Amino acid sequence: MSLSDERLKPIVFIIGAGLSGLLLAILLDRADIPFRIFERASSVKPLGSVISIGPTILHVFDQLGLMDEMNKMSFPCPGITLFDGDMKKLGDVKTKREKDITGYESLVFSRPDFHEMMLRQVAPENISFNKKVLKVVEEEDKVTIHCSDNTAYECDIVVGADGAYSSIRQNMQRNLKEKGLLPKSDGESLIAGYNCMVGVSLPLDPEKYPVLKDDNDCHFESIIGSERHTWSVIAVPGRRVCWTLIVQFENPEVAKRQQFKNSEWGPEANAPMIKEFQGFRCPYGGTVGDLIDATPPELISKVYLEHKMFKTWFHGRSVLIGDACHKLLPALGQGAVNALQDATILANCLYDLEDNSQKSITAAFQSYYKQRYDFAKEAYDMSEVAAKVINGQKWHDRLVRNIMFNYLPDWVQQYSHEKRFLYRPQATFLPLVPYKGTGRVLPQLPSKRYTKEQEAKKTEQNAPDAGKAVVV
């Protein structure tokens, strides 16, 4: 099956209609590269809770002209305030001078709202639902995906954007293992640290929850209770509250015994966990149970919070982005941001493809990996520490939290923030958005093709006869 007669352009299949897959699709569309998304679900379900998008990716959304829409559906997030179970304040995790340094503030959305906004940017005919990919067969000049409905499709490149239990990664790993090329660690299971339940309430009464009258702050508040329980509340537009309930596993053995076969968003048997949290206090007022009662049961979902950094991101004509190659704990929005950065850099590399040969595709994948791996690994390590501070209940987690709030000099935290904001990639085949703020930005590998195209346009515009009427 062919999507284009222009064989110089790669035909790209994106497996998975999550955030990273959708951003890649949007960028490929702007790059005029043929693509198609294959999503195994029958439709996009409005599940999940809150998502935070920070300054290290917002330039790309500015390039795409989406910032106005994003600002309307979000609140700024100046940080997180932590309390104990008795509502005694423990401290703040603040991103100080974020806007001064970058020109942007971190934004907090309802995850379903953000996902639906991204989905609207992709033409419906470019997304196929009910397409679960079972097998990927690669040849020298093409790759074929085989779906569970007995259909098969040919393309030049397959992108696994299908989550932590990616079928594309599993296919890659089988091929690598047969060739003796799979790193041992890549074959090991993901590490589960927490059991998590999430939801987004219906609109609430601001008289009962006065904090919802404030349209300038998401009021991200997290409570670290006793006996491994943590819960968070975040206000989003529409006078709704995103809530998250977390139970930390006692040890890796307990986590391993309880892990499900996958880690997808989706309704589960939620009653036992709801019962555990029902009577806990909500910092906005009332109890956690009040928020759960204000959330439609079909929109409550449970997931294990897992983490793992894979070493292998590509092989042959297949490549991975997002959770498929680095599953981060969802602390400070690092998981979503890094998945979106993957999509941006991969789109840049595909734009610069010289042809559709295996040699050129491998070179593009190598460039993508080289540009992304170290930054993703740094974010992975950061998310581990952030999870301990925000959700950790073990004695060493409490120690880290105590040191951070009571003994760590302010300049150390400031240095950490400024270092994180150094990396702010953009789509190099689109007009660049001027970097704002006072902070430095690491140089980015430019697009050779885009540079040549712009030079050619300038030459044409500056030609002696440019713009003159031709008289016949």
- Secondary structure string (H, E, C) spanning 421-443: CCCCCCCCCCCCCCCCCCCCCCC
Residue 322: C-alpha distances to residues 121, 224, 327, 335, 336 (Å): 19, 29, 7, 8, 8
Report the run of H or E that residue 419 belongs to, with start and end.
helix 410-420
Backbone torsions φ then ψ of 440, nearest 5 degrees: -70, 160
Is the pLDDT higher at 307 or at 95?
Answer: 307
CA dist 361 and 136 (Å) reads 17
Residue 193 has pLDDT above 90, yes or no: no
CA dist 64 and 365 (Å) reads 24
CA dist 21 and 161 (Å) reads 5
Predicted TM-score of the model (pTM): 0.92
CB atoms within 10 A of CB 425: 22
pLDDT per residue over 157-179, tens digit each? 999 999 999 999 999 999 999 99
pLDDT of residue 257: 60
* Structural domains present in the chain: 12-75+108-189+308-394+415-448 (3.50.50.60)
pLDDT of residue 427: 98
Residue 341: C-alpha distances to residues 61, 65, 268, 371 (Å): 11, 17, 31, 10
Q: Which of 170, 14, 104, 118 is nearest to 439 (CA)?
A: 104
Amino acid symbol at 408:
L
Above pLDDT 70, what percent of the chain? 90
pLDDT per residue over 219-277, tens digit each? 999 999 877 899 999 999 999 999 999 998 766 665 566 654 444 444 556 888 899 99
Is the pLDDT higher at 170 or at 4?
Answer: 170
